[in-house]
């Protein structure tokens, strides 16, 4: 199978994930699962937490208010969505935009693992504490975990199953939506992304 076929296989599995507590909520509301979007040869992958309503209505990650702010952040470092890949820790929308439960994270995170295996990025940028917590545990560096307030903007070199990788935790863009004064922190942290852009999107 090529990369597109492998991602399509993941999409179909998520669509038919009837054991998920979020399956009925999705189908009752005619929502989409939000799998991921962007280059399957991306050097940089962004991992959010779970889709909001706009994302669930469109099937596109980060297309609502948080997505517009993320686009501003990408523009600030001259990076386009076409050169990166964006996905989430959980692919279906939790009710009322609540945090995903541990059960839901356990159920959906295997699909994130498979996407990362397919793309094999050199840099993973985690938007929010839930994706940060999961990926630090996955990389076997749980002992380095602190609060997102302590971790944001720091660069960690580690390994995943396919090789060396850099983990960069950032606040979720929603952090600035609730308090516009936090926007400067987000943009200052995002400057760290510049050093990884050199050969973004090149074929491996």
Q: How far apart are CA 55 and CA 146, in angstroms?
A: 29
Residue 200 clears pLDDT 70, i.e. is over it: no
138-161 confidence digits (pLDDT tens): 999 999 999 999 999 999 999 999
25-46 confidence digits (pLDDT tens): 999 999 999 999 999 999 999 9
Q: Quick one: tokens of 129?
A: 């504490």
**Residues 192, 196, 200: CA angle, nearest 5 degrees:** 140
Q: State the pLDDT at residue 180.
A: 82
Which pLDDT band holds residue 181 (cuts at 50, 70, 90)? Answer: confident
Q: How far apart are CA 22 and CA 28, in angstroms?
A: 10
Which pLDDT band holds residue 6 (cuts at 50, 70, 90)? Answer: very high
pTM of this prediction? Answer: 0.94
| SS3 category, 128 | coil
> Domain 3-194 falls in which CATH fold?
Uracil-DNA Glycosylase, subunit E (3.40.470)
Beta-bridge partners for 169: 126
Residue 201 clears pLDDT 50, i.e. is over it: no
Q: How many residues does the chain have?
A: 204
């Amino acid at each position: 199978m090529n990369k597109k076929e492998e991602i399509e296989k993941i999409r179909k599995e998520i669509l038919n994930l009837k054991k998920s507590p979020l399956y009925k909520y999705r189908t009752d509301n005619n929502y989409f699962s939000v799998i991921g979007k962007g280059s399957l040869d991306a050097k940089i992958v962004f991992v959010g937490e779970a889709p909001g309503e706009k994302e669930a209505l469109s099937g596109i990650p980060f297309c609502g208010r948080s997505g517009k702010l993320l686009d501003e952040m990408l523009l600030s470092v001259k990076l386009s969505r076409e050169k990166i890949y964006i996905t989430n820790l959980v692919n279906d929308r939790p009710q009322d935009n609540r945090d995903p439960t541990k059960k839901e994270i356990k159920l959906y995170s295997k699909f994130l693992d498979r996407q990362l295996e397919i793309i094999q990025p050199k840099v993973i940028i985690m938007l929010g504490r839930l994706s940060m917590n999961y990926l630090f545990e996955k990389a076997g560096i749980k002992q380095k975990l602190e609060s997102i307030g302590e971790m944001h903007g720091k660069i960690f070199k580690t390994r995943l199953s396919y090789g060396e990788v850099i983990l960069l935790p950032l606040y979720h863009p929603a952090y600035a939506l609730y308090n516009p004064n936090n926007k400067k922190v987000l943009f200052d942290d995002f400057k760290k992304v510049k050093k990884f852009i050199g050969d973004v999107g090149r074929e491996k």
